[in-house]
Amino acid sequence: MNGIVAASSSGGGIQIIAMMVIFFGIFWFLAIRPQRKQQRSHREMVSMLKKGDEVVTIGGMFGTIKKIGPDFVELEIANRTKVRYLKRAISSIVSEEEEEEEEEYDDEPEEQVEDAEEEATDAEASEDDEDEAAASDDDSETSRA
């Protein structure tokens, strides 16, 4: 009977090890591998930085690269206002396409506001017409009485 118990407990150990290996494999493909891929692409982006690029920092600061050092960049954030950032603090390079998309996005709310104002004006005009019609009906009823 002791032989049966010993055989079943060693089989359970193999299953636990197999489950741990499977769990680690899933974890590798869902967490570690994508993070390494993202780090690699960020390193490539940082290595491609050049003077004149417009960038965004991880804190959301926009600026134009004026000087590049071994581990830092100097950004001009306004006329004659320069700040230094570590290269690893650069989040992304702002492309001209993104700027055009932002300009298009900025234009849309103005158009929507104008449309909404026109609709509000039309609605007020129709309410005024209804009020005048109701007032004239009231006047005609009081004159009959």
Strand ranges across the sheet with 62-68: 81-86, 72-78, 62-68, 54-57, 90-93
Tell me what the pLDDT averaged over the chain comes to: 77
For residue 29, what is the DSSP state? I
93-144 pLDDT, tens digit per residue, is 997 665 556 666 665 555 555 665 666 666 565 665 656 655 555 555 555 5
* Beta bridge partner(s), residue 93: 55
% residues pLDDT > 90 (the chain): 52
Most confident region among 10-24, 71-85, 99-113 by mean pLDDT: 71-85
C-alpha span between 51 and 66 (Å, rounded): 5
Residues whose CB is less than 8 angstroms from the CB of residue 64 and which lie 6 or more positions away in sequence, other chains included: 52, 53, 54, 55, 75, 76
Q: Which of 20-29, 62-71, 89-98, 128-137 has the lowest mean pLDDT?
A: 128-137
What pLDDT shows up at residue 82?
95
pLDDT at 92 over 70: yes
pLDDT of residue 1: 47
Q: What is the DSSP letter of 94?
A: P
Q: For the full predicted model, state whether its pTM sits above 0.75.
A: no
Amino acid at 36: R
Q: What is the pLDDT of residues 54-63, one digit of tens each?
A: 999 999 999 9
Torsion angles phi and psi, residue 48, rounded to 5: -90, 0
